[in-house]
Each structure stands twice: as C-alpha cells, then as structure tokens.
Amino acid sequence: MSQAITKPIGAMLDEIAARFPDNDALVYPERGLRYSYKQFNEICRQVAKGLLKLGIKKGDHVSIWAYNVPEWVILQFATPKIGAVLVTVNTAYKSSELEYVLNQSDSTTLFMVKSFKDTDYVKTLAEVVPSIHDSEPGKLNHAKLPFLKTVVFIGDETPAGMLNFNSIIELGKAVSDEELAAVEATLDCHDTINMQYTSGTTGFPKGVMLTHYNLANNGFQIGECMKFTNQDRLCIPVPFFHCFGCVLGTMVCVTHGSAMVPVELFDPLKVLQTIEAEKCTAVHGVPTMFIAELEHPEFKKFNLSSLRTGIMAGSVCPIEVMKKAVRDMNLTEITSVYGQTEASPGITQTRTEDPVELRVSTVGRALPEAEVKIIDIETGATLPPGKQGELCARGYMVMKGYYKMPEETAKVIDADNWLHTGDLAIMDENGYCKITGRIKQMIIRGGENIYPKEIEEFLYTHPKISDVQIYGVPDKKYGEQVMAAVILKKGMEMTEEEVKEFCRGKIANYKVPKYVKFVEGYPMTASGKIQKFKLREMAIKELHLEEAE
C-alpha cells in the first residue's frame, strides 16, 4: 500500500508534532484552549505516563463516556502510546447499556463526565455500581464488573470513590521518558487500540476491534480524498464516540497536521460561530446537522467564506441539502463517505473534484487501496455494474473482529477477508456506488444506527407484551423514526405512552419508539417469516407519511 502508515499511532503523533510543532492541533475557542502540535503531543505523553503510573498496561481496556471534551481527544492519542485499548461509550447510553459495555469489554478503567443532556452519569454509574461512592479510588470491587477498578472523573468537584483527570497528569510526572519509551518499543501497528460498540442482528452490541493500522490509514486516506493539508482547520460537531468523530474527524486531522476544532455539544449556532471565529476550512455533519445550520435564523450573519470541504454522511444525504451546503456554505468540495464501524469506518468516498450530481446521488468509489465488490445475495457471485447486491469490502480498514465473539466475526468476514456489510448497493461502471437498502433492516435516525432486534429484546421483558416488531418509518427531519407493532398477552391492556415510559431511562432516547401500534398479528411469508416491509407500508398509509417517504 502506497504511503501506508506502519507506525503505532503514538509514534505517528511524535513525527507529526516534530514536522508541524507550531501548527494548531486542538482548539476550543469557548474554553480559550489552544494546543500547538508540540503542546498536544506533550500533554498526550504526560497522560500516557499517568496511565502507566495508574497501573494500566498494554492491552488493558479503558472506557470513555463523555461528549466532545478536550480530555476525550487527549485520551484518544495518549492510550495508543502505551498500547491500551480505548473503548468508546455512546453518550446516549443508560444504565443497562453502560453495564453491558463495561462488562463485555472487560474495562479496567472508566473515564466519565458529570452528565450529558438529560442523563446524570454519576447517578447512572451508581445504579450499575452501588458501592462506587464508598470505595477507595482505584480499588473498586464489584461482582458484576470484575475487571473495573478505577473511575476517573473529567470536570470539577470529583465525586467520592473517583480520581480526577488532572491527577493523572500529576501522576505522570513520576514516570520517566525512558519508561514510556520502553513500553512504546513493544507496540505493533496491528495491535488493537480502539473498541467501538455496534449493535447487531443478535440484539446485543458487539465490540469492534480496530488497530493502529486500521485507524491511522483510514483517517489518512479519507483526508487525502478531501485534499487535506497542514493548513486545513476542521470544525468537528459530530460525536467522538462514533467513528465519524474520532476517525473522519480527529484522525483525519492528526495524520495531516491539521487543526481539530471540536464543538462540545452540537448546536447549529455554535457551529456557525466556530467556523467564522476559527476560519475553518472544513466541517463535518450528518444531514440533520447541516439542515439545522442552513435553516438557523441567524445563518446569513456569518462569514463562512473560509470553508472548502467536509463530509456529509451518517445517513442518506438528501440531494437538496447537499446542493444548499455547496451553494450557501461555500462547501464547493464537500464529500460523502460510506462505511461502517467494522471498516474503521470508511469504505467509499466521493472526491472533491467529482461533479455535484455524483456527489449527491452516490456514496463515491472505493477509498485508495481498498477493494469493493457487489455480490449476489443468494449465490455470493460477483455481480456486473448496474446489478443490485450486497456490498463487500476488503483491505487495510477491515476490523480484527468482534471482541470475544468469533462466531459473529465469522458471519461478516469470510475466508478471503471480505467484509460483508449487509447493505444492498449498485455499482456503476466507474466504481461509484449507490446504497439501495439494508439486508438487516437497520434503522438510521439522524445518523444513529438503530438495530430493531435490540429494542425488541428489551420490550420482550415487559410482562404485558407477547410479541413486538420494530421497524423504521420515514421522517422528514431525521430520515427515519422507530415504530413498534405490539401484540399483547391475552386479557392485557396497554397504552402507547406505557410502552414509551417503560423504555425511558433504560435504553437510549433515540431508540424509544416514536410510534406504537397494537396489532393482533403480523403479515407473514409462506414460510412464516414476518414481512417488516409490509408493516412499514401500512404505517406510511395510516400515519400519512407519504410525503416524508
């Protein structure tokens, strides 16, 4: 592979910091925080040493549960310096999801902020680990989470039983450069360095194991397709816990010596203010974010002339939104990326020089050095251009596998190392792909992937519910919304609100069904399979969603 990055991420950052020491690396205008690459690398080294002092070793799993705070980015580049695996926890998770991820990932340490939106993280953690506030920091002992020993708080007023993030930096002062170098010498670019949880048809999230090599090279190639240089400045309003934030965002920047300018919590006004104040040349977002920015009442007040490129991805990009972004935000070289977490995540991308028509109607062609093919769902044979089948990908970006789930891994990565995405697509004769549907019936709501099986498994635990089917229905704002068709147990009665209330606080808000319908049965195939597409068609008619469709 040409120009492949074969160094571990920590060593790669050392090299970038040596090449561009005075370039802005990380900028938070509202906090007055501005690290040059030299300073950013130095703080990442300090934190890496602090982690060593805490007893974190190569291969240990460290979870982070936080929105886009500076400590997130620092941890993302400090953990690979010692070979620890960063486990990214969805900010919308509630108690049962948090417990599952901490347990399944064998996390020894959890970094967390105080709260996010309507969720008090400190209270939520106490629900999962009742003994947290009575424990000595670093000596947690909870039967259900045998690996978890340390909780580190990001922010002021550290709760009882936790360490503070700043104390990690202090601890690092006791560790010499030689000790850190000795650990770095043991690292390999094909070691797992990051784990992101993606739900699946099994109903339980799976930990996707990604390596230094996966992430650095995917970030580099995506940046190349946007013509990124050390002069670019990227506004990052998408969440870091997702590949969109921590690969298409931060990793794209660091591999090019570009400036990372995050927005802590998405707010269209803040994005516009940040772009203008920092003269950002690029901005990322899911379509709903771009719509909110373009439709903001103060939109016209802002000077966005510094913008050039960025990525609109996460769900199908409406053609009109893409055209408006090009025309009204000066994003003449905006691109779209298609991928999935298992491909760390980018598989295809449009190019800055592609005509707008291609950029709005396709998800581009294979990234440099990646292979893409479309196969027949029944036979597995490679299909010619213009035929619909499953999109498969192969190359440097494919994950190592799902953590502790070899059978699940074998279902998606075949003997020839092709990753089977489960997405239906058509490729044209020039290699440009259109995503046409999903084999797995995943719902994409505002860029969040929702797997019906996971919500179904949860609702099955309600004593009144006999059966439930979850499916997506069209929505103007979010692309899709969650709908539940519920069959009640004999003699039971239930309201729509009762179903929603049962979900609240237990599963992420975006997974709570917006629509609930009580039914006697489901449309079936001759072989007894439920036809969700028919449920969807019926719902579109009943709810008058034809226009959104």
> Strand 259-262 vs strand 233-236: parallel, antiparallel, or unpaired?
parallel
Residue 439 has pLDDT above 80, yes or no: no
pLDDT averaged over every residue in the chain: 94
Percent of all residues in the chain with a pLDDT value above 70, rounded to a whole number: 97
What's the CA gap between 156 and 160, in Å, rounded?
12
Q: Positive or negative CA dihedral for 161, 167, 168, 173?
A: negative
Instruction: Indicate the pTM of the whole model.
Output: 0.85
pLDDT for position 203: 57
**Residues spanned by CATH 2.30.38.10 within the chain?**
336-438
Q: Which CATH architecture has domain 9-265?
A: 3-Layer(aba) Sandwich (3.40)
Instruction: Judge contact between 168 and 151, C-beta under 8 A.
Output: no
Percent of all residues in the chain with a pLDDT value above 90, rounded to a whole number: 83
Q: pLDDT per residue over 477-531, tens digit each?
A: 999 999 999 999 889 999 999 999 999 999 999 999 999 999 998 887 554 567 7
Q: pLDDT per residue over 257-291, tens digit each?
A: 999 999 999 999 999 999 999 999 999 998 889 98
**Residues spanned by CATH 3.30.300.30 within the chain?**
443-542
Q: Looking at residue 256, what DSSP letter applies?
A: T
pLDDT for position 527: 44
Residue 443 has pLDDT above 80, yes or no: yes
What's the CA gap between 132 and 158, in Å, rounded?
12
Q: pLDDT per residue over 104-150, tens digit each?
A: 999 999 999 999 999 999 999 999 999 999 999 999 999 999 999 99
β-bridge partners, 63 = 87, 110
- Binned at pLDDT 50, 70 and 90, residue 357 comes out as confident
β-bridge partners, 377 = none
Residue 1 has pLDDT above 60, yes or no: no
For 68-81, what is the mean pLDDT?
98
Residue 202 has pLDDT above 70, yes or no: no
- Binned at pLDDT 50, 70 and 90, residue 315 comes out as low
β-bridge partners, 366 = 348
Residue 201 has pLDDT above 60, yes or no: no
**Residues spanned by CATH 3.40.50.12780 within the chain?**
9-265
139: Cβ contacts below 8 Å, ≥ 6 apart: 149
Residue 453 has pLDDT above 80, yes or no: no
CATH number of the domain at 336-438, out of 3.40.50.300, 3.90.420.10, 2.30.38.10, 3.30.450.40? 2.30.38.10
What's the CA gap between 122 and 134, in Å, rounded?
14
What's the CA gap between 187 and 8, in Å, rounded?
7
What's the CA gap between 389 and 392, in Å, rounded?
9
What's the CA gap between 549 and 539, in Å, rounded?
11
Q: pLDDT per residue over 82-104, tens digit each?
A: 999 999 999 989 999 999 999 99
Residue 33 has pLDDT above 80, yes or no: yes
Considering only residues 348 and 435, tell me which one the structure prediction assigns the higher pLDDT.
348
Which superfamily does CATH assign the domain made up of 443-542 to?
ANL, C-terminal domain (3.30.300.30)
- Binned at pLDDT 50, 70 and 90, residue 320 comes out as confident
pLDDT for position 528: 54
* The residue to which tokens 């699946």 are assigned: 200
Residue 400 has pLDDT above 50, yes or no: yes
Considering only residues 7 and 323, tell me which one the structure prediction assigns the higher pLDDT.
7
Region for 46 from its dihedrals, namely left if φ exceeds 0, alpha if ψ lies in -120 to 50, beta otherwise: alpha
Ordered DSSP codes for 143-203: TTSTT--EEEE-SSSPPTT-EEHHHHHHHHTTS-HHHHHHHHTT--TTSEEEEEEE--TTS
Q: Tell which residue, 65, 246, 70, 88, has the closest CA to residue 152.
A: 65
Q: Tell which residue, 533, 515, 516, has the closest CA to residue 524.
A: 533
Q: pLDDT per residue over 378-392, tens digit each?
A: 799 999 999 989 999
Q: Using N-to-C axis directions, what is the helix angle for 212-225 and 9-19, rounded to 10°?
A: 40
